[in-house]
Structure 1
Amino acid sequence: MKKSVSLICILLISLLISSACSSNKATGIKSSNPSGENAEDIKAPAESTDGENMETVISEPDFAVVYDSLEKLMDKAEIIVEGNIMDTSYFDFNTVTYTKAHLKVTKTFNNNVKEGDVITLVEPGGITTKAAIIKYSGASLKFGIKPTEKDKNTKVRFSLMGYQNVKPNDKILIFGLQDYSLNVLPGEKYYVTLGAFQGKFNLNGNNVERFTPKSLKTDKYLSLNKNKLKIEQDIKNMIKSKQKTN
């Protein structure tokens, strides 16, 4: 059983990487070919699932754009906001699992959204089922591996490069934009962070921290970790400077 599960995981990763053929302008990562098959939505558990013995599938995508400075993030961002994650849920779209979150804005830097607004944020990665993994990997057709009833209820975490998706009560700073190209929530207005997770920073007390994948060279991808007051002032100064030049 363990060998089959490992095979399924490898197949999924291979599928996501080898079929990548187009660059998504919103996230800055290469996306896989859509299969046209969507799994059922999976509602996030009320309690954190971090403590569960859950298998994790890690994908190593190719980044079309690497945001290695605040200047690059600010140049492409439509919204620059701080806020609190109110709730999360998960859904599958075109063989990829996503996290959907509602973010209550507590501070805005460029006024494209207002303080107190609740916006929808979508991130690649989240929790799906083992049955979905088997389906998306093509293991049923290639190797005759069929999902069982247990597989349909067995949770699996899908992650980009080890990134942990947002969860309720997280305090974050995001550089994002409204997404039109992926259209994973038809008819619904939502935002994505630049470069998948590159435009998201966790607010931990007085510190601002960005996830740094171990597989990316530090000379090309900087953590950009700073003091909260320092990064806020840097953002304000850059906005003022940009306004003067315009």
Structure 2
Amino acid sequence: MKQFLSLLVLLTLIGCNSSLENKDIEEVNSSAELIKDYATLKELMKDAVLISNVKVLSQETIVHEGVPFTISEVEIIKNYKGKEKKGKIIKVIETGGIYTPKGKSEEDLDKVEYQINGVSTMENGEEYYLFLEEFVGPQVDGAYIPLGAYQGKFKVNKNKITQETDYENKIKDFTEIDVEEFKNKLKDVNN
């Protein structure tokens, strides 16, 4: 499978209790090693087949072979690289998400948020800049996946851009910056 979500899931589960926006949802953190670790924004720009500013419209979490995957429908606000156009709705798949796991007797257990290396999936209604590749796998057809599992995911937070990643796998030449400055960096992308 091409870059089974760009990481080799070691499935070493570490549970920790926490609240997510006043909800009692346990976080289940799976440690994983990235198959390809991106060090710079230019590397992401080079490898991405699609670079877009998107808004998350809806989400569905599915379970495949015991692992949850979140499939988000996102609308392209602006496209910087690739074949998709402004206004197009595409699917983006990520490992993890909020779901209700099953017990040994197939009974529903308490809802959990499954994360890879402490990184959550995208949030419904939020805006992101995504560096994507085409997804190949049995979970969904015709979808995209962020490069480096989550390294190619940048969230718009007010007028700032933050990388949605853990510290160890953070892009080395990136710090939180203004949206306009980030857009200027994307002007260097060759379509």
Equivalent position of 1:103 in the other structure: 74
Measure the CA separation in 2 of the matches of 1:109 and 1:68: 20
Q: Is the 8 A contact 2:68 2:95 kept in 1?
A: yes
Please, what is the CA RMSD of the aligned residues?
A: 2.4
Counterpart amino acid of 1:169?
A: G
CA distance in 2, matches of 1:120, 1:87: 10
Matched, 1:158 2:158: no
State the percentage of identical aligned residues: 21
Rg bigger for which structure? 1
> Which residue of the partner structure matches residue 25 of structure 1?
3
2:137 maps to 1:198 = no
**Counterpart residue identity of residue 7, structure 2:** I
SS at match of 1:237: coil
Q: Which amino acid aligns with 2:86?
A: E
Residues 1:30 and 1:110: Cα distance change in structure 2 (over 3 Å): same
CA drift of 1:75 comes to: 1.2
- Residue number in structure 1 paired with 2:132: 176
Partner residue of 1:235 out of 178, 186, 191: 186
Number of the residue aligned with 2:91: 120
Return the letter of the residue paired with 2:116: L
With over 3 angstroms needed to count, the CA separation of the structure-2 counterparts of 1:26 and 1:177, relative to structure 1, is: farther
Unaligned runs of 5+ in 1: 1-22, 34-48, 135-145
Match of 1:44 in 2: none
Shift of residue 206 of structure 1? 2.1
Question: Residues 7-35 of structure 1, C-alpha deviation per residue, up to 9 Å, x if partnerless?
Answer: xxxxxxxxxxxxxxxx84364311469xx
Distance 1:226 1:147 in 2: 49
Tell me the matched-pair count. 183
* Amino acid corresponding to residue 225 of structure 1 in structure 2: E
Q: Which protein has the bigger helix share?
A: 1
Aligned residues of 1:97 and 1:126 also touching (Cα < 8 A): yes
Question: In structure 2, how many angstroms separate the alpha carbons of the residues matched to 1:234 and 1:222?
Answer: 12
- Structure with bigger strand share is 2
User: Matches of residues 1-246 of structure 1 in structure 2 within 5 Å?
Assistant: 24-25=2-3, 27-31=5-9, 50-131=21-102, 134=103, 146-147=104-105, 149=107, 152-180=108-136, 182-185=137-140, 188-214=141-167, 216=168, 221=172, 223-239=174-190
Is contact 1:85-1:102 (8 Å) kept? yes
Structure 2 unaligned residues grouped into runs of 5+:
12-19
